[in-house]
């Protein structure tokens, strides 16, 4: 699979590769392992097919699927959380950022967009209008912090959030693939049959089958316990806070 690794490396944009492509490849990992371990050298046709698909736009398609799944999920999460993380952090009623620091961010963003930021009473009276002003300020900030060499930490946090969000969006498919691979391995070696569980067949399971089954189960555990809504939220608010800290550098 060296050639495939070379194709992946040609996805040179770090965000595209790490935040979008890697979650998709991780979802497919149990399938790759199962086919390779099951068919061994005979899997060359499969490997060549993967190379051909990747070279003909397969990797780009994976990137787009990963992105679309993450974006669709993001809107639902923002509604569930009570708004975009950056907007929440700029609200007077949100305690995560101390009042003095928040006032400094408000002052800078207000000057830059030419619109007065609401005070606490105005925000309480019309929270939707206040959020519109905050989002306008964040939009200005996003446009001024796109240089990854200058805002390297922010770029890393954006990748971390994108990876977790897209992985969470792919989670149902990843679990389905891993469980299907596990069932295929056991069924192929008569451990899992229409008559139930074959204990004797399990004791004769070859090493490559054990390896495939273990990879599939580990994948299930990782997707269930590590790719979670809580993990996405943590990364989202960490990125949001890092973005707002850029106000001090831009002031």
Confidence at 124, pLDDT banded by 50, 70, 90: very high
What pLDDT score does 194 carry? 62
What pLDDT, in 10s, does the model give residues 158-212? 999 999 999 999 999 999 999 999 999 888 877 776 666 666 666 677 888 889 9
* 8 Å CB contact between 175 and 245: no
Residue 125 has pLDDT above 60, yes or no: yes
Greatest alpha-carbon span in the chain:
75
What pLDDT, in 10s, does the model give residues 64-119? 999 999 999 999 999 999 999 999 999 999 999 999 999 999 999 999 999 999 99
DSSP for 125-169? Answer: H-HHHHHHHHHHHHHHHHHTS--TTTSHHHHHHHHHHHHHHHHHH
Q: How far, in Å, CA of 66 to CA of 227, rounded?
A: 14
Residue 132 has pLDDT above 80, yes or no: yes
Tokens 């943590």: give the residue: 234
What pLDDT, in 10s, does the model give residues 103-117? 999 999 999 999 999
Distances (CA, A) of 14 to 21, 156, 167, 217: 10, 9, 16, 29
What pLDDT score does 86 carry? 98
């Amino acid at each position: 699979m060296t050639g495939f690794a070379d194709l992946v490396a040609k996805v040179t944009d770090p965000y595209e590769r790490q935040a979008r492509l890697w979650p998709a490849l991780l979802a497919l990992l149990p399938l790759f392992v199962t086919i390779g371990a099951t068919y061994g050298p005979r899997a060359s046709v499969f490997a060549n097919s993967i190379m051909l698909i990747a070279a003909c736009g397969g990797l780009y398609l994976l990137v787009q699927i990963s992105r679309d799944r993450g974006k669709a999920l993001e809107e639902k999460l923002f509604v569930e959380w009570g708004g975009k993380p950056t907007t929440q952090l700029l609200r007077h009623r949100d305690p995560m950022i101390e009042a003095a620091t928040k006032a400094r961010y408000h002052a800078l963003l207000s000057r830059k967009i030419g619109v007065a930021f609401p005070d606490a009473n105005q925000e309480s009276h019309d929270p939707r209008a206040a959020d519109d002003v905050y989002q306008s300020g964040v939009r200005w900030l996003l446009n001024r912090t796109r240089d990854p060499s200058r805002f390297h930490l922010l770029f890393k946090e954006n990748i971390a959030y994108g990876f977790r969000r897209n992985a969470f969006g792919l989670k149902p498919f990843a679990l389905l693939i891993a469980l299907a691979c596990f069932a295929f391995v056991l069924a192929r070696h008569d451990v899992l049959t229409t008559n139930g569980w074959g204990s004797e067949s399990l004791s004769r399971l070859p090493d490559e089958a054990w390896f495939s089954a273990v990879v599939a189960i580990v994948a299930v555990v990782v997707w269930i316990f590590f790719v979670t809504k809580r993990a996405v939220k943590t990364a989202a608010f960490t990125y949001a806070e890092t973005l707002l800290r850029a106000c001090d550098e831009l002031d």
